[in-house]
Structure 1
Amino acid sequence: MSAGVHSSGHRPVMLDEVLHALLPHDGGVYLDGTFGGGGYARAILAHARCTLWAIDRDPQAVARGNAMLHALDEAGARLHLIEGGFGDMLALLAARGVHRLDGVVLDLGVSSFQLDRAERGFSFRRDGPLDMRMSGRGRSAADLVADLGERELADLIYEFGEERRSRRIAQAIVAARAQARIETTLQLAGIIRAVVPAGGAGHIDPATRTFQALRIEVNDELGELRRGLHASATLLAPLGRLVVVSFHSLEDRIVKRFMVEAAGKLPAPSRHDPRRIDENRSTLVNFRLLETKALRPNETESRTNPRARSARLRALQRLPESTMTSK
């Protein structure tokens, strides 16, 4: 079995590109902030004799990781698993005496394990409880669907799902829940499909964007991402690298903005803009972009792995202290 393929046969998205961007080296200390099925973790440990910390908020993922430690032989001793959110990595690692990292990798969104288990409630293709909680704690998607007002639902679906028909969907949800609580994934998917026409071949399911919006809200995914990006930048040692794989435009815009700003590449404001920084004032630029544009999966991966088709990889490197530049 390949080092990057875990026991269920799922291959991590853009694995070769992730390893090339992260460049793990012997003696380094790395963080996989989204352990999932352990595919990136296996590959990183196989690539170099390094120490790897791995975080996942899903207790089932952590349990799978602990179960696979014995199969990793010597590499298992170099892997340390933590249950928690990667947005809390500063506190989680500090509690274990870790204050500097040579690299961080974040594979955003829902994992294949979560999608494939009907009882987790992430998939509109499998009947299960309308849950979507990665950690198993807090409000579920069913709670949101039951409690939010029609306008709140519409705004949520529009903002986090980028769904143009959000008002129609929200209206249908509110009408349906007046008859009975919406408890299952197929219940909700059916309500959406009844009011949103299906596209032709190659179009996404009408329920896709609404399910995405609920999942993002339930798990505070965008807040978690912002916290994780800032924490990663704080933890990276000189020449350390941050690699992020995102799967939809909301995530990618946040990652792009953060990395461009960290590298001092934001366009200069107009000279008439009152927010313009005094030109004589120096601003330290601590990072450089490893790629000027997001990397996409190659044709073969896009064809063989449907999850990879929407993936975008961006990477950032902290500059050595002696070469930090000013602008």
Structure 2
Amino acid sequence: MLDGDSAGYEGSDEKVAVDAEKHLANDPADASFVYFGQTDIAGHNHGADSAQYQATLRTDDALIGRLLRAIESRPSYSNEDWLIMLTTDHGHTASGGHGGDTPEERMTYVIAAGGGVPTGTPNAQPKIVDIAATALRHLGVAASLDGYALRSAPADPFDSVTLKPRQDETGVPASVLGWTHQGPAGWSVRTTAPQGVAEWQGWSFTTDDFWTRAAPGQQREANVRARGVFAVADPDEWDDKGSPSSSGKFDSTLVSPGYDVDGASAVTLKFGSHYRHENPQRAAVTVAFDGGAERTVLSYGSGTADVLAGTVSLNVSVPNGARNMVVSWRLYDAGNNWYWAVDAPTVTR
């Protein structure tokens, strides 16, 4: 066993590569994991923008090439189904180290080939939790995880919106496009609230990069099930300009287009939910059929626990003869409280 912390990763990585080449070329195994550590050390000591960091990347590239050639040399290679993934567990700051919650430190990558993973770059950037899901899918192991196997994240109408640069937010670079109140076709937002931070004046469509830069360190980073663009009601950030909660409450409703429920006795409403609660804020999901009265199918209020990185699945009964169902997500009675993020809503029979 090699201990890179004590023996030094530069020499240890070479020894790991030699052992891994032998294993990958000859041994039967369902899964193998190989770790090279010198790039991490260079990032800590010199930063992600350093020449030392770039040099270790080139070294890693050569080591990985040796492992790929070892795999391809296997006598049974032509009859095997290999999934190969390259990734890292975290990013680095430009000057060195990590340990914070900035996008740069949380940023990782995954390069995948084989195993039925489609080629190309997905429109919605994957997250680190997707790596385990992808590996387990390839191995035929069922598991309930936060991640989605690559290219299997649910379809999302929110990803079609056109995002804008910051307006009131100061912690977000001007180059980062990441918010709008204009939803996809058929979606609408109704808001009653004194004017606060423009980006969060009611439900907004945003991205992880934009939202977490706006207010780091408040568990927004834990919204790991969301992909691409998602919807957020954030009275905590709304209240940061002029303290509008001193003169009125935040009350905003996200309204879906109509879903076809003709002939169904029940449907399943499902969506990703990242909800932090603080009294007196309240929240509710309602449904309305054929323009009729709204019916509450989920409510959050006093005593509600946080629902972080969750998936909500609701069985909704359909009145006899109903043809159309509209869904609403409302966050209300809120001042400088917390937030609700919703992603990938679907209605299925």
Q: State the structure with more CA Rg.
A: 2
On whether the aligned pair clears a TM of 0.5, the verdict is no
TM-score (structure 2 length as normaliser): 0.25
More contact order relative to length (CA 8 Å, sep ≥ 6): 1
TM-score (structure 1 length as normaliser): 0.26
Between structures 1 and 2, the one with greater strand share: 2
Between structures 1 and 2, the one with greater helix share: 1
